[in-house]
Structure 1
Amino acid sequence: MNKRRSFLQQLGMLSAGFVVAPSLISCDSGNTTTAETAATSQEPTNGGAGGKSAANDVIKTVGLQLYTLREVLPNDVKGGIAKVAQAGYQDVETYGYSKQGGYWGLQPQAFKELLDDNGLISSSGHYDFGQYMTDGNTDAVKAYIEAGNTVGHTYITVPYLGEPVRSNAEDYKAIADKLNKAGEMCKEAGLKLAYHNHNFEFDKFGDTTGYEILLSETDQSLVSFEADLYWFVRAGKEPTAMFKQYPNRFVMWHVKDMDKNSPELNTEVGNGSINYNEIFDQAKVSGVDRVFVEQENFAANMDPYQSIGQSYRFVKNTLMA
């Protein structure tokens, strides 16, 4: 995790005109604050009326954050995307795009054609906003909007904030201002902007947190939030309480489970300690309409494609049944 964090810090020095390796942007964090007490056992709960999951009425697609396959996808993007579709997914969330390198060597139109050939969409992509957050230069944002519209995104998503830009409450207010401006750019282009959390956003600054500042200082019509539920729990936050406190703000979820014995590790959805039955029961309050499975690491000898298939089946057949 620390290795990836250093990668992301390097990205803050790069603009969209430089090649950025796809493996450099995703959803992990080097922050090691734990909150195992926020994780609960995976006990089944009754979903909606008559046993039907409340999530089934509001969640449009079950997707995969492609960072999950960062060790295999760059070597065979076409074969990997085909296997994602075969596992049952309808949607993929990209990461690591650069203007020169595209998506794993495919320029946006070619990547869109690959998705089409496999019956997939990509409703969101994670893009490096490090330079923009540092100096406000919008060139990279414009490049992401162009690529996102070609691929067919609904959301351009900010995946991470480098440490130098988030050291105090005033920094977070400045970030919120930049998010609003980027959100306006996306809106003018027919897209939406979203922000993806880790757990560092929940560090306290007096009587508030960075995340509270972002939620309160951003315009709801311009900036949405992608709730990484694993990082909510690692930060000691109860996801359903967050949904009730900020209804309709969390339009996307990252669904990844917490290993029961090692909370800093992930496991297949349904095998860990996070009570996803309870969380999916509150989907309507959240405002979510799409979810992305993600897994940062695999058990020894676990085939990544077997893993993503197992997680998909649990989400679709248990959490949304």
Structure 2
Amino acid sequence: MKRSLRSTARAVLLAALSAVLFIGLAGTATAAPPTTSPGASDCAGRGVPLSKISVQLYTFAGYIGGGAGEQARHEEVLRQLAEMGYRNVEPFTLSGWSAEEYRALLDEYGLKASARHVDVGTHTAPADIARILEENRVLGIKYFGSGSSAGAPWMQPLPTEADWVAYARYLDAVGEQARKAGQTLMIHNHDFEFTRVFGDRTAFDILMQYTQKKNVVSQLDLYWVAYAGLDPVDVVEEYGNRIQLFHVKDLNAELNRRIEIVGRGDIDFPSIFAAGGGSTRYFVVEHDPRFGDPTFDPFEAAEEGLAYLTCTTY
């Protein structure tokens, strides 16, 4: 079932792009970035359009941090992303701003929130969905969902199939409430939804089976699917246009399958994008922070991811 994850053509393309990539941000988050995406003009019309590219701001969680200066650092991230050429961002926190204040900040930098990660609760601990929907309306967000499902090892355990079914039914009810408000609930996966198996069904299968397509869609994190040992193409082909967003995150098999800057790793993104058949609404660049690692530059990761996508057919 597993196919080769490395795309030779993609590797050649990235090598060609590397000459024009701006990587002077390494080691500091305040260096001046280029005013346009480094590959966007060279590859205009040949790759993913900017209107479909976003970036998950969790990439910058280590830089944004918390406490004093958090809002200033968060705003600096938005400023630099806009100057790179991004038109969309995917927030995971509002850093203490109200929805109105955050929307004004996005407008100032010419950005839109393509989606949002926010805790939507569980069947045993429901969230205030009405409040979330109102915030989303102000922010201009259609897609939203928790950054992880409830069965994560670091969250509430879901040890039985019945637990997963109950959780899925809760999500379906939240999704129905969202749909009636003109919004869409999405499920974002990690690896455990695919490695947790009940008979011949994974936990991901259960989440899909017990939620309705009209109420709940998938934001498929391609790294975590590959990390779980599956070919993302197979998952995309199985669930089709139920998958409406990709988290585009690479995997480095030679370095203990660590998360890698998009285009530097082994995942065959062109094949996955082709399997999506044009139904993908957003391609979201992401790189989980390497907390405490001063060699990791989230601005470099965002910039290279943007350059890669603008030159990759879909």
TM interval, short-chain normalised: 0.7 to 0.9
* 2:86 aligned residue: 89
* 2:13 aligned residue: none
> What TM-score results when the alignment is normalised by the length of structure 2?
0.79
- Is the partner of 1:248 in helix, strand or coil? helix
Let me know the Cα RMSD of the aligned residues: 2.5
Distance 2:9 2:44 in 1: 13
Which amino acid is 1:147 matched to?
E
Cα gap change, 1:282 to 1:53, in 2 (>3 Å): farther
Question: How far does residue 244 in structure 1 lie from its aligned partner after superposition?
Answer: 1.5
Cα-to-partner distance string for 1:12-47 (whole Å, 9 max, x where unaligned): xxxxxxxxxxxxxxxxxxxxxxxxx766113227xx
Residue identity (%) = 26
Question: How far does residue 53 in structure 1 lie from its aligned partner after superposition?
Answer: 8.8
Question: How far does residue 92 in structure 1 lie from its aligned partner after superposition?
Answer: 0.8
- 2:297 pairs with 1:306: no
Which amino acid is 1:241 matched to?
D
Number of corresponding residues: 269
Question: How far does residue 158 in structure 1 lie from its aligned partner after superposition?
Answer: 2.5
Distance 2:265 2:221 in 1: 15
Query: What are the equivalent positions in structure 2 for 1:136-151 lying under 5 Å apart?
Result: 137-138=126-127, 140-151=128-139
The answer to whether the 8 A contact 1:267-1:297 is kept is: no
- 2:214 pairs with 1:237: no
- 2:169 pairs with 1:181: no
Cα gap change, 1:85 to 1:159, in 2 (>3 Å): same
* 2:251 aligned residue: 258
The answer to whether the 8 A contact 2:58-2:289 is kept is: no
The one of 195, 199, 205 equivalent to 2:191 is 199
* 1:65 aligned residue: 56
The answer to whether the 8 A contact 1:60-1:289 is kept is: no
Distance 1:234 1:39 in 2: 14
* 1:222 aligned residue: 215
> What TM-score results when the alignment is normalised by the length of structure 1?
0.77
* 2:260 aligned residue: 267
The answer to whether the 8 A contact 1:255-1:292 is kept is: yes
- 2:35 pairs with 1:41: no
- Is the partner of 1:230 in helix, strand or coil? helix
* 1:171 aligned residue: 163
- Is the partner of 1:89 in helix, strand or coil? coil
The answer to whether the 8 A contact 1:42-1:270 is kept is: no
The one of 147, 152, 175 equivalent to 1:159 is 147
Question: How far does residue 56 in structure 1 lie from its aligned partner after superposition?
Answer: 4.1
Question: How far does residue 267 in structure 1 lie from its aligned partner after superposition?
Answer: 1.4
Tell me which moved more, 223-232 or 295-304: 295-304
Question: How far does residue 124 in structure 1 lie from its aligned partner after superposition?
Answer: 0.7
Distance 1:87 1:222 in 2: 34
Question: How far does residue 54 in structure 1 lie from its aligned partner after superposition?
Answer: 9.1
Which amino acid is 1:82 matched to?
R
Which amino acid is 1:117 matched to?
E
Cα gap change, 1:114 to 1:87, in 2 (>3 Å): same
Which amino acid is 1:157 matched to?
G
* 1:26 aligned residue: none
The answer to whether the 8 A contact 1:230-1:257 is kept is: yes
Which amino acid is 1:194 matched to?
M
Cα-to-partner distance string for 1:87-117 (whole Å, 9 max, x where unaligned): 2211111113xxxxxx112111111111111
Distance 1:255 1:109 in 2: 29
The one of 89, 107, 112 equivalent to 1:116 is 107
Cα gap change, 1:104 to 1:39, in 2 (>3 Å): farther
Distance 1:54 1:166 in 2: 44
Distance 1:107 1:185 in 2: 22
Distance 1:294 1:185 in 2: 28
Question: How far does residue 273 in structure 1 lie from its aligned partner after superposition?
Answer: 0.9
Q: For structure 1, which runs of at least 5 residues remain unmatched after alignment?
A: 1-36, 46-50, 97-102
Which amino acid is 1:116 matched to?
D
Question: How far does residue 196 in structure 1 lie from its aligned partner after superposition?
Answer: 0.4
* 2:27 aligned residue: none
Cα gap change, 1:316 to 1:171, in 2 (>3 Å): same
Q: For structure 2, which runs of at least 5 residues remain unmatched after alignment?
A: 11-42
Distance 2:101 2:193 in 1: 36
The answer to whether the 8 A contact 1:195-1:226 is kept is: yes
Which amino acid is 2:159 matched to?
S
